[in-house]
Amino acid sequence: MSLSLYLPLAGNSINILLLFGLGGAVGFLSGLFGVGGGFLMTPLLIMAGIPSTVAAASDSNQIVAASTSGTYAHWRLGNVDFKMGIILIIGGVLGGTLGVYLIKALRALGNADFVIKVTYVVMLGVIGGYMFMESLQSIRRKPVESRKTSTEPAKVSLYNRLVQALPYQMKFEKSGVSLSPLMPLVLGVFVGILAAIMGVGGGFIMVPVMVYMLRMPMHVVVGTSLFQILFTCINVTIMQSITNFTVDLVLALILLLGSTIGAQFGVRLSKRLKGDQLKILLASIVLLVMVQMLLSLVLAPHLMLAPKGGH
């Protein structure tokens, strides 16, 4: 019996085990790091012969399942800050809408692809590089710092003073931080704009933003990020189904079966790893994707013509 399955909207058939494996691997990373995995899955599906538009839209649908599974698992562990998540979702939707108009304007000017590619490389490079260096330093100096903190008073940075000066301060109990809701709202808008430009859910940008700018603990960040991604991807799936007819349900179903199982294993491993170890692993993956993308920008392509729809 053939292990190939025909995908009616992708207009291609693909090996079931390959799809299941891809879904499982990316779902595992999703549960481990709290990222949707769109920045990994979409290129992998394109490599497997799925048209880029169908790959991106169907991936959003499978992320709905993976992030439902991941959010549920993290909620049981008490790792979801719903208050923070809802504010980020509102910001993300506003930013996403702004981003869609921005990319439309750039496409009219004819340089959207340049902006998308450069944004990808810069964002992945900056985030991956910063996370990697910071986590590495943190792992190295931990024993020294724990002695220091007992004798020296903590310095309040300019960033902290600015954050504390914002109006409507409120306590986010689950995250253990007090800040103005304007802060996650504005950051949500910023991530939403970038996510729309780059055509991804934005988890890999949202996670560092929560860690470094909202100062949330890593384990709450993962659960809250998945909660936010869930809503972003529900919106994208419905919009893509209505406007572009690019959500392949068969493709998404196989991917989501793999990814929901993978996500559960990811969540379990995330409990065993320390925050810095999680960050350094995510940073390494982000940097690998950045290098691959940079190479595709620098090396001459095999063909000077490409199907429309990909970056």
Binding residues for another protein, rule: CB under 8 A, are 1-2, 4-9, 11-13, 49, 61-62, 64-69, 72-73, 76-77, 110, 113-114, 117-118, 234, 237-243, 245, 247, 249-250, 252-253, 256-257, 260-261, 263-264, 268, 296-301, 303-308, 310-311
CB of 218 to another protein, least distance (A): 19
Cβ closer to another protein: 83 or 311?
311
Cβ closer to another protein: 22 or 261?
261
Instruction: Evaluate whether 136 touches 280 at the Cβ level (below 8 Å).
Output: yes
Give CA–CA dist 262/265, Å, rounded: 5
Q: Which uninterrupted H or E stretch holds 97?
A: helix 82-109
**Residue where the block lists tokens 């910023």:** 190
Cβ closer to another protein: 180 or 241?
241
Instruction: Evaluate whether 74 touches 222 at the Cβ level (below 8 Å).
Output: yes
Cβ closer to another protein: 1 or 154?
1
Cβ closer to another protein: 64 or 222?
64
Cβ closer to another protein: 15 or 97?
15
Cβ closer to another protein: 183 or 256?
256
CB of 56 to another protein, least distance (A): 14
CA angle 294, 295, 296 (to 5 degrees): 90
CB of 245 to another protein, least distance (A): 5
Instruction: Evaluate whether 207 touches 282 at the Cβ level (below 8 Å).
Output: yes
CB of 137 to another protein, least distance (A): 32
CB of 116 to another protein, least distance (A): 9
* Cα separations in angstroms, 35 against 179, 279, 297: 24, 12, 25
* Cα separations in angstroms, 170 against 183, 217, 220: 11, 17, 17
Give CA–CA dist 261/221, Å, rounded: 21
Cβ closer to another protein: 12 or 284?
12
Question: What is the amino acid identity at position 149?
Answer: T
Instruction: Evaluate whether 256 touches 65 at the Cβ level (below 8 Å).
Output: yes
CB of 86 to another protein, least distance (A): 18
Integer-rounded Cα radius of gyration of the chain: 20
Burial class (CB in 10 A: 0-12, 13-18, 19+), 12: middle
CB of 104 to another protein, least distance (A): 16
| Inter-helix orientation angle 38-47/16-33, to 10° | 160
CB of 297 to another protein, least distance (A): 4
